[in-house]
């Protein structure tokens, strides 16, 4: 009897577990759970904080350009506590740099914006506007940088990339902010985490497969500096918009390669074929 008692207890415990399977909650890994935060709540809060901030500068001569442009992309976090400018009627966080004088023209400045948010559907990007200034703080050029998405094998090569060419010998200073047009815009984003074999922090933060439009916001993490090889490769292979639909692989091959069934070969082949068929019954 003493040997049967543990066996009976084990059987009862097993039956309880089986009965509880129907009511127990299924545990889902954090990276596969749906987003809990409101899609636009964080963005609206960030916009409100920026509007309530007191701007320090409203003209290009007001900024301090004491910081040299980094020799390679460097991380900058723009947001609460950062200096705010009021340019063309829009509030924006900003960065100001002095350009190197001993670099051969032209050269490229690299930029990368990181997703601001844990989930793709609840994220936004700081989209930069670049202003090049001469020694008198007069603008030479102003560009809203187009951001293009690139999913790399590490966090360093993952994000929204952009660049600008410095080709004027009059350029002395570089100002980075986000114009009203940029803050109201969006960036195309193509995400397919299932096709990525490695698991990085960047891929864990993604949501489902598909294509999306990431809204731009007033704050976030931005990398700025002289272009290096890593960033150049990311910029060259980044996705800026959805690819146009083609006519199919077979039709593309027909126009790109001299295949045996092409029109020129078919016509010559048919005439040869008729003479050959005439010589043989």
Residue showing tokens 């999913």: 151
Q: What is the Cα–Cα distance from 124 to 269, expressed in whole angstroms?
A: 59
Give the predicted TM-score (pTM) of the model.
Answer: 0.70
Q: What is the pLDDT of residue 242?
A: 80
Could you give the dihedral angle defined by the CA atoms of residues 207, 211, 216 and 219, in that order, rounded to the nearest 10 degrees?
A: 30
Q: What is the pLDDT of residue 274?
A: 43
Q: What is the pLDDT of residue 202?
A: 46
Domain boundaries, the chain: 68-83+100-129+141-170+177-237
Q: What is the pLDDT of residue 132?
A: 98
Q: What are the tokens at 202? A: 């960047």
Q: What are the tokens at 66? A: 């004491």
Q: What is the pLDDT of residue 197?
A: 36
Q: What is the pLDDT of residue 251?
A: 55
Strand pairing category for 107-113 and 220-226: antiparallel
Q: What are the tokens at 237? A: 């292979």
Q: What is the pLDDT of residue 184?
A: 96
- Radius of gyration (C-alpha) of the chain in whole angstroms: 29
Contact yes or no for 86/52 (Cβ under 8 A): no
Q: For each successive 10 residues of the chain (281 residues), what is the average pLDDT?
A: 54 51 44 53 94 96 97 97 95 98 96 91 94 98 97 91 98 98 95 42 48 91 98 96 65 53 48 44 42
Q: What is the pLDDT of residue 241?
A: 86
Could you give the dihedral angle defined by the CA atoms of residues 37, 129, 238 and 248, in that order, rounded to the nearest 10 degrees?
A: 90
């Amino acid at each position: 009897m003493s040997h049967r008692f543990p066996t009976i207890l084990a059987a009862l415990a097993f039956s309880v577990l089986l009965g509880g399977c129907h009511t127990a909650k299924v545990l889902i890994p954090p990276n596969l759970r749906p987003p809990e935060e409101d899609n636009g709540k964080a963005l609206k809060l960030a916009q409100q904080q920026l509007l309530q901030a007191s701007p320090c500068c409203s003209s290009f001569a007001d900024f301090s350009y004491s910081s040299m442009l980094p020799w390679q992309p460097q991380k900058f976090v723009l947001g609460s506590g950062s200096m705010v400018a009021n340019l063309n009627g829009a509030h924006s966080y900003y960065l100001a740099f002095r350009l190197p004088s001993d670099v051969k023209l032209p050269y490229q400045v690299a930029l990368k914006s990181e997703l601001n948010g844990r989930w793709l559907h609840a994220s936004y990007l700081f989209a930069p506007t670049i202003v090049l200034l001469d020694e008198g703080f007069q603008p030479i050029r102003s560009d809203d940088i187009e951001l293009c998405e690139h999913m790399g094998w590490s966090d360093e090569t993952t994000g929204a990339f952009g660049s600008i060419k410095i080709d004027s010998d009059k350029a002395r200073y570089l100002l980075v902010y986000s114009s009203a047009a940029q803050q109201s815009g969006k960036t195309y984003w193509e995400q397919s985490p299932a096709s990525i074999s490695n698991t990085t922090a960047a891929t864990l933060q993604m949501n489902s497969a598909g294509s999306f439009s990431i809204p731009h916001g007033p704050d976030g993490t931005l990398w700025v500096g002289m272009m290096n090889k890593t960033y150049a490769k990311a910029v060259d292979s980044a996705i800026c918009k959805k690819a146009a639909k083609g006519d199919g692989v077979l039709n593309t091959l027909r126009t790109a390669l001299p295949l045996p069934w092409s029109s020129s070969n078919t016509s010559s082949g048919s005439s040869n074929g008729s003479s050959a068929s005439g010589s043989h019954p």
